[in-house]
Structure 1
């Protein structure tokens, strides 16, 4: 029997200062990425994103705009892994400096690419910034992980 894992990620954009909130992830998918996490049983995808952002950053977000889905399929086990991606410019609260997931901080949008990004995160940025793609798809197994194909 195959497993399905649902996760989320959200780009919080401060247009006034042209900066985005990033997380230096230390548990899984190590490196710099946007904050997010897992969808819990009985929870909607949007609710899970709002909860995860609150837990990982201290901020309350709203007016989430969907900006694409990442879907990875394990071609040996049949397992499926989804990331529902959002962006928002509507946030309030006091930013936490760090959680057990990693340090969170604002960075100028143009400086983002200079950081040590999580593997494959750079390729996902057009979904968030340019509204260029609606889906990224790839396969993986214990021996190989394919590049995502974006559409």
Structure 2
């Protein structure tokens, strides 16, 4: 890895049950909206282990057989930051859904209704890619001066 670059690793895991997905209705801090479960990968756990742990903590469900869907990353060249989010999807889960969690209330949402929900731009951008064949890579360059997204590159394989 490049010296002087600050790397941070996160996961997202879309849990699917037929024509519904499990999202968290998050209504706190700067990241309000409906989001899939996920969070920071703790060292030295693997990305898959991190995704499984985060789903359990945030929803109460135990997931298995995660399929890798793609990489979503933010790069900030001025600050030497690179945030990498590893995205997974699974249809295999067991357990009892939490009534509420620190990250938001877990709710099952029909896939066709998701576009009507308030959602962060980064989640909305990649949401349909979870259900397409292949994988994706999305890189977003952060514009420090404007404090917003700059160049966005999307690749599908």
TM-score between the two structures when normalised by the length of structure 1: 0.92
CA shift for structure 1 position 92: 0.3
Q: Which whole-Å CA distance do the structure 2 matches of 1:109 and 1:139 have between them?
A: 29
Over 3 Å counting, the alpha-carbon distance change for 1:101 and 1:111 in structure 2 is same
Q: Which runs of 5+ in 2 are unaligned?
A: none
Match of 1:6 among 6, 9, 30: 9
User: 1:145 is matched with which residue?
Assistant: 149
Alignment size in residue pairs: 149
User: 1:52 is matched with which residue?
Assistant: 54
What secondary structure sits across from 1:124 in the alignment? helix
The aligned runs of 1:2-151 (5 Å cut-off) are: 2-15=5-18, 18-25=19-26, 26-131=28-133, 133-142=135-144, 143=146, 144-146=148-150, 148-151=152-155
TM-score between the two structures when normalised by the length of structure 2: 0.88
Kindly report the root-mean-square deviation, in angstroms, between the aligned alpha carbons of the 2 structures: 1.5
Q: Which whole-Å CA distance do the structure 1 matches of 2:131 and 2:123 have between them?
A: 13
Structure 1 stretches of at least 4 aligned residues deviating more than 3 Å after TM superposition: none
Q: Which whole-Å CA distance do the structure 2 matches of 1:34 and 1:147 have between them?
A: 24
